[in-house]
Structure 1
Amino acid sequence: VIAMFVPSLSYRLLIGRPFVVTMVGVLYLCFTWRKLRCKTVAWPVLIDLCIAVTASTWIHCSWFLWALPVAAFFLAREWRAAIRLIACILVGVVLGAILTGHPITFLMQTFFHILQSASADVLARRQLVTELRPMGIDPVLILLVGFLLGWRSLRGGWHRGVVDNPVFILAALGWVLGFQVTRFWLDWGAPALTAWIALEIKAELRRQTGVFMLRRLGIALVGGGVFFLAMTNDFSSRWTGNLTREYLDSSKADMKGWMPEPKGIFYSNDMAFFYQTFFKNPHGDWKYVVGFEPSMMPKDDWDIYMKIMWNDGAVEAFQPWVKKMRPIDRLVIEQSKSAKPDIPELEWYYAAKMIWIGRLPQNKTGDAATTGTLSTTNVPEPLKTSK
């Protein structure tokens, strides 16, 4: 159902990023939470939850967000289950932190990192990474949930417990908080809603079909077929887009002199450039002005970065970085081959698809550069913003 109505959510599960570990843990919790409320301790479930939180903490690092399902359990007044869940989370967080090898540093760094990111001084949410931006309203989801609730009511199966439970409440919490930060919805609300929909469909199948009826098998085959078609099609080049991507490779002859020299800096306003270049050149002896998280940048570089983002990458906004550059540094601007950046202080080379590399004049001949005018007159001033 999710694959048909919200394909972006199902695709997110298949791109191999660490948040999948957390989403799997959320799904497991949503399908087994009733065993946490029993008077008899369900040790296998508790152990599995500890393992899930451990893996989530160690691999995804967003251990503090496990407070969301705890809040959902308390809002649903599932006191015994909430206390047991807290115990599992505490054990899992401690074990996950120990696995990093630096438990205290890890816990402090990840916690203060998210505080720093969330409190970043930005003028517009578009200056943040995609997952920290607010999400929009998806009417399809509202219609889907409304249809399922209406269908249950029409067949006489409505009761308060359909929505007054930790799974539905966690989905609602993630959806509401997603209007502030999308990640609340993507990593927590969406998996919970997926589980809730699956449980609703399961209840309807139990009512109308037996476990071993051919009708039930047919429904499963049709559903599986639709899911297969929805996930394997190349919508928006989601599976083939990387086939035409070009990466900077310091080992190639045509890149000689255009990668940063030892101890140099790659100046760029694009985190994607960092990921694509760092993992292609893991042993490169240079630094990146922006890497895993912009809020970790030095304050002056952060201010420049924010001004560039505010001005939608206007070349004038790069001028403070140009003035800071040394001969060993390089500036990267993403523009088409026909649009060489209008920064005449630098020599420019179109190194890869949509990637221009600029460097200070080398006073050499015979290189692959597209050399700009070296005059420093008539250079636009950096764009200014007002708060």
Structure 2
Amino acid sequence: MSSNKLFLSLGQVLILIISFISLFLTSWLIIPAPTFFLLKFGVVAPEICPWLFLSNIITLGLALLFIYSPQLKRIICIFSLMGLLVCSWELVRIIPTQMQMNTAMNQALGADYQQKIPVEVKAKMRKQPFILTDIFRGINLQETRHLTNINFATPAGVPLNMEVYQPSKVGKYPAIVFIYGGAWQNGNSSVNPEFNRYMAARGYTVFAIDYRHAPQYKFPAQLDDVRFALNFIRDRATEYEADTDKMVLFGRSAGAHLAMLAAYEPDAPPIRAVVNYYGPVNLTQGYNEPPNPDPINSRAVLQAFLGGSPQQFPILYQTASPINYVKPNLPPTLLIYGSRDHVVEARFGRQMYNKLRDQNTAVFLEIPWAEHSFDAIFNGVSNQLALYYTERFIAWALVNS
């Protein structure tokens, strides 16, 4: 075989491999992940959809130009066209989803809510809910100050640390307390720092806190640790340039669950707003009606967290469920869920919203293509939308709540 024929042969095989990989990744836009390992593909694929769209276009073009075998060309073209069709299914829904989110924000906060945000605060925010070029180049986080390994408590001999993100200039800033997710079993205060840096650069002091993990430490240990952190922040507010009269709790997944409990419980400190990204709200129903498929084994996670089933500990499950704490005059709450979330289904966020909105300010935003932990890809499609409305909700709440 001549070197030219060998080169063409290897090139054709490479195009086929790239086409298959593109289609494989794209397929997770519509296939629910049955296992925790495959869940990673289900999370990432929707967030890099423009990259996948581009990849499928490239492989289609390469097939048309450089594949001479009719059968191989047909296979690659079919792969690429299927990938393009699936990607288009998400991309064409970005603008309608953005419009739905605008409507939800306007209905809950008022059509003029953005006009109530101080001009100097709004000037630092993202200009559009979705910016295609940011998918490829990333979101500019800007310069901040960052403090690490700050011990705030040592319950049961377990050292708990926090990280603090501050604007580049010394001052006094509203406080955001960030609580990470991880099924109450994994994670630490340094995970997913992009949001913390982003918000610090826009005029907030962000505290990323730690808590003890299940199953070694069961509920309410985690909630106790959040309380320790809040007390520490209030006691040391001046040192860390935080205005604790303007404090927001923000949590992801298990962290959102803890944020809601900390803000809603009867003896909660003054909190100006709560941001809940895909957090569990009704643990009893979540146990009795797990998602299908259930890639993290939700029942096992809840048993590790609470020590058993709701049949064994019905009162404990009720006590640990934020939905049971809804009453008038709670802090304004933003709930963001993905329609394709197979860990905490969006119906639970909607359930919480329906109960909150009768007597409180609440916003429910649903992203049709998003899986659990969609914001792990900070410049991804879903997180761009979530970030745009989250920063506006927080700014509005600090002025109006």
TM-score by length of 1: 0.25
Q: Which is bigger in relative contact order (C-alpha 8 A, separation at least 6)? A: 2
Counting helix residues as a fraction of each chain, which structure ranks higher? 1
Q: Bigger radius of gyration, 1 or 2?
A: 1
Counting strand residues as a fraction of each chain, which structure ranks higher? 2
TM-score by length of 2: 0.25
